[in-house]
Amino acid sequence: MPGLSDRGKGLLLGAALDAVLGDPRRGHPVAGFGRVAGALERRLYADSRARGIVFTGLLVGGAAGVGVLAERSAGSSVGRVGVTALATWAVLGGTSLGREGTAMARELEAGDVEAARERLTHLCARDPAGLGERQLARATVESVAENTSDAAVAPLVWGAVAGVPGLLAYRAVNTLDAMVGYRNERYERFGWASARLDDVANWVPARLTGMLGAVFGGREAWRVLREDGGKHPSPNAGRCEAAFAGALGVRLGGVNSYGGDVEARPEMGNGRAPEVGDVRRAVRLSRLVAGTAAVLAGVAR
């Protein structure tokens, strides 16, 4: 890879490892981080934004600090490439996302709705009880679209910007949002900092994901992205979902249930309701977007 920086080579090599191997089978660093975060939550938790800010700052700052030490200890050019590649592989989740989406497609294609409902819990926090084939297909397409940014594009963006510290800090932010970022009674205040920091960290990556989705989706995807991307209650998820809706010619959004809380979300796109066959199409689009983001991140450095 002549002409690329060590960081760029490491990002591309790490993306290649993720494409071939998926997530590490054992001892996943993100799982280890989650255990540390859980232990710290038990010590620090209070129904307080201030405590949540300390909790988030310690963990994200600690992850970034580990990244700084890893880069400084790498030594040679080969070492820097290797450390960046391993960190990139550890934090990327695009291949696993595609595998989950494909597994959902197989369940739906086989008509096994019960298995598909169980599988949906691997993709999102939506309550699958009572969902039919088309509702499960919509939930999967929306989850694949949103997570294309979270699992693939955003880590690559932060890796290109800040190297290994950026990779590890972003994954820490995203993991904490998944752990404590819910707007429920326990985390309304304690999880506020994690949720808001995740919004900030994903602002640029989500819009890049939307633009790349529109590049591959054509004129209708650009139109839906422009007109409907800001309708979603999330400042970021709507950009991804709108682009995918336009690219696939479907209509996303509607009523969702999360642990008994029902949300009516604005619709995005003017197409038909998603069908079972659209799940594989969403996975293919996700892979195109993630692969393109990897190339851009590599050459940007």
- Match 């294309």 to its residue by tokens: 148
12 falls within a domain: yes
113 falls within a domain: yes
Q: Which two tokens stand for residue 137?
A: 């297909």
Helix (H) or strand (E) holding 75: none
Provide the greatest CA pair distance for the chain.
56
Confidence (pLDDT) at 14: 97
Put simply, whether the predicted model's pTM sits higher than 0.75 gets the answer yes
Angle at 250 between CA 248 and CA 255, to 5 degrees: 135
Provide the domain count of the chain: 1
Confidence (pLDDT) at 1: 66
Strand partners, 278: none
Distances from the Cα of 160 to the Cαs of 8, 13, 64, 239, in angstroms?
Answer: 7, 13, 14, 21
Confidence (pLDDT) at 301: 62
CA–CA distance, 287 with 181 (Å, rounded to integer): 27
147 falls within a domain: yes
For the chain, 301 residues long, give each residue's pLDDT as a single digit of tens.
667 999 999 999 999 999 999 887 777 889 999 999 999 999 999 999 999 999 999 999 999 999 999 999 998 999 999 999 999 999 999 999 999 999 999 999 999 999 999 999 889 878 888 889 999 999 999 999 999 999 999 999 999 999 999 999 999 999 999 999 987 889 999 999 999 999 999 999 999 999 999 999 999 999 999 999 999 888 999 999 999 999 999 999 987 766 667 777 889 999 999 999 999 999 999 999 999 999 999 998 6
CA–CA distance, 282 with 119 (Å, rounded to integer): 16
115 falls within a domain: yes
1 falls within a domain: no
Angle at 23 between CA 74 and CA 217, to 5 degrees: 105
109 falls within a domain: yes
152 falls within a domain: yes
CA–CA distance, 39 with 54 (Å, rounded to integer): 14
127 falls within a domain: yes
What is the domain range of residue 258? 6-300
